[in-house]
Amino acid sequence: MKHYDYIEWLLYKNKMLTKEKLDEMEQHLFNCDTCMEIFLTLIDEEEVRSAGKFVTNNFTSNVIEKMPKLKIVKHKKKQKKKIFNYQFGYYVAVASVTIILTFGGFYTDLVDIVPKLSASIKVPNKSTNIIANFSDSIVDSTSSFLFSIENIDRNKRRKNIER
């Protein structure tokens, strides 16, 4: 949907467009809330006052009187009853399957089989964490480097003390 900008709506309001364009924009205005908001910002106080001269005080009551009487439609209880019947039917079906499985010994066999299955499953070795191994190797290398520097310093001190 193509939206019109503020300037286009200003031209529309002042009727400075072709008849076809005015009709097109009017139809768009009925369907687009965004453009309706833009158009409504163009209406100023003077226009509201001048429109008040044409609208009578009993305008609202006249419009309501001319509207046809609307019937209030009550929701049918049958629809709710149908939904209840469907839900009850599903409940009965699930309960029936559960009872059949219980009497057939499915759950008892399941309790016996699960420990056997869990014992037979082999857990694969965890994959090594490359980043953790890399950081460990850096720490080890740094520690050994510092340790070697300390040993060199100790060896020099010993040689100096022995002399």
SS3 sequence of 104-143:
CCHHHHHHHHHHHHHHHCCCCCCCCCHHHHHHHHHHHHHH
| pLDDT by 10s per residue, the chain, length 163 | 788 888 898 898 888 989 999 999 899 888 889 888 888 888 888 887 887 777 778 888 888 887 777 666 666 655 556 666 778 888 888 888 888 888 877 777 777 777 777 777 766 666 666 666 777 788 888 888 877 877 777 777 777 776 6
Q: What is the DSSP letter of 123?
A: P
What is the structure's pLDDT at 163? Answer: 62
Look up residue 155 and give its amino acid.
N
What is the structure's pLDDT at 123? Answer: 63
Residue spans of beta strands (DSSP E) within 22-160: none
126 φ, ψ to 5°? -70, 140
Q: Which pTM was predicted?
A: 0.36
Beta carbons within 8 Å of 6's beta carbon, 6+ residues apart = 38, 41, 42
What is the structure's pLDDT at 127? Answer: 62
Helices and strands counted in the chain (H then E): 8, 0
Q: What is the DSSP letter of 55?
A: S
